[in-house]
Amino acid sequence: MTNSYTPINQIPTIYASLRATFRSGLTKPLAWRRHQLLQLARFVKENQDHLAAAIHADLGKPLQEVVMSETTLAFERTLICARDIEDWCRDENITNQVPDWQKGWNPRIVKQAKGVVLIIAPWNYPMILSLQPLYGAITAGCCALLKLSEFAPHYASFVAENLPKYLDNDAFRIALGGIPETTRILDFKWDHIFYTGNGRVARCIAAAAVKYLTPLTLELGGKSPVIVDATTDIYLAAKRTLSGKTTNCGQICVSPDYVLVERAVAAKFVDACVEILKEFYPSGALNTPSYGRIVTKEHCERLKDMLERTKGRIVAGGGMKLEEKGIEPTVIADVELDDSLMEGEIFGPFLPIVTVDSVDDAIDYVNDRDHALVLYLFTTNEATKAKVLENTTSGNVCINDTYTQLSMHEMPFGGVGESGYGRQGLRYSYDNFVYERAVCEIPYAEEPFLAPRYPPYTAESVAFFSQPMKAPIPYSTNPTDPKHKI
């Protein structure tokens, strides 16, 4: 592993080089893009063991977690992009959508690459969350600078050294570094910025983007709630919630942050959590290779302080080996709504359980706070599903499981409000880096039909253009009016 950061004085040269490459047209041919995508897939496949080892060195992430959510997902989705690139990039003919008098104008929508883009990747899922926007940029025909996180140094170093052996270095470059390097990178006029991380940094990036009105995709996080009602399978609800919470030690933007459980089944849910953690880690979580570690000692201290300030009752876990960056998955019951654990995103292996009187109370609590990246709901009641969907706002919703929604290739992923904006995943990753360019061709032969638009204007020409105003308005009534009849 090398700790060498990208020299700040080289950043302008890198930017200028990428800009020149895009203007040269190198990235336009679909065959070239497809080759780059297949090269990206080869990079993942041929280096999967090294990538897993690097991620483990940074995060202590178990091999199975890397395989499930990093290497396999990145490999599969890159191949899908290579397979479907022609369909995604094809012009959309809209002749059949326009009025008859405009059908001869050859109206169409062209998907055009935005240009030179910046991808700022996180540390917690360093591979899939760096390569997913990258394959989107490649498919779109953009040039890209990939800024990897300094908090995953083994992964960043390996990728910086080896990915250039697979991709065209004129079109795709990698930057390493911390705040000074990132700040300098943000000085330039990018055509799109894709950032994955937290809201605090996102605000800094958004402020830098304002200078050039640069479009953004922000994949953030927040407190993703779990609502558990009395109709569900309590054991499975607890098991699937803890599965999501313990993945990467809760250091994932879609980690279930806290539980709102109906009072009638709260004690049963807590007991199930205690039982399940014993099943997951018979020898203790910190004594098994099936459980990861916290990213830094500083984050460990933050989590330790958070747990010490809680007013809740620790019913499972709570053990720490800070010198090893190890913190056990910890279940805290009887948590009040004003508890320290409820203040901000936990981003760690703590699961606060809050008892509520009803699903309605849970909905009110969720709606009083920033919109979550994901809302999790455990219920077998169809009316409850409809009520929660209709009366809450979140980036995604997953019913009767946690975390596994990310495995669905066809689903868009992204937040709303404080949890971010924009979507990613396969075609949705591609969509970030193109814009829809409307194109039409007006035949000279239609000059007689268009002639009324020219001065001098007359009563007849005004009447001609006023024809659409003669269309009748359909009858309607206000459905909230007591006199309204269905």
What residues are labeled active site? 219, 253
Tokens 């949705």 correspond to what residue? 428
Identify the burial level of 203 via C-beta atoms within 10 angstroms of its C-beta, where 0-12 means exposed, 13-18 middle and 19 or more buried: exposed
Identify the burial level of 299 via C-beta atoms within 10 angstroms of its C-beta, where 0-12 means exposed, 13-18 middle and 19 or more buried: middle
Per DSSP, helices labelled H in 97-197 are 128-140, 153-162, 179-185
Written as six digits, the tokens of 223 are 């407190």
How far CA 296 is from CA of 16, 292, 299, 300, 318, in Å, comes to 35, 12, 5, 6, 18
Q: For the chain, how many helices (H) and strands (E)?
A: 17, 18
Identify the burial level of 9 via C-beta atoms within 10 angstroms of its C-beta, where 0-12 means exposed, 13-18 middle and 19 or more buried: exposed
Whether the link from the prior residue into 126 is cis, omega within 30° of 0, is: no
Written as six digits, the tokens of 157 are 């170093």
Q: Which of 160, 166, 175, 375 is nearest to 260 (CA)?
A: 375
Q: Which residues pair with 192 in a beta bridge?
A: 117
Distance of CA 184 to the CA centre of its chain: 25
3-class state of residue 408 by DSSP: coil
CA distance 234 to 358: 16
Strand pairing category for 143-147 and 256-262: unpaired
CA distance 351 to 329: 8
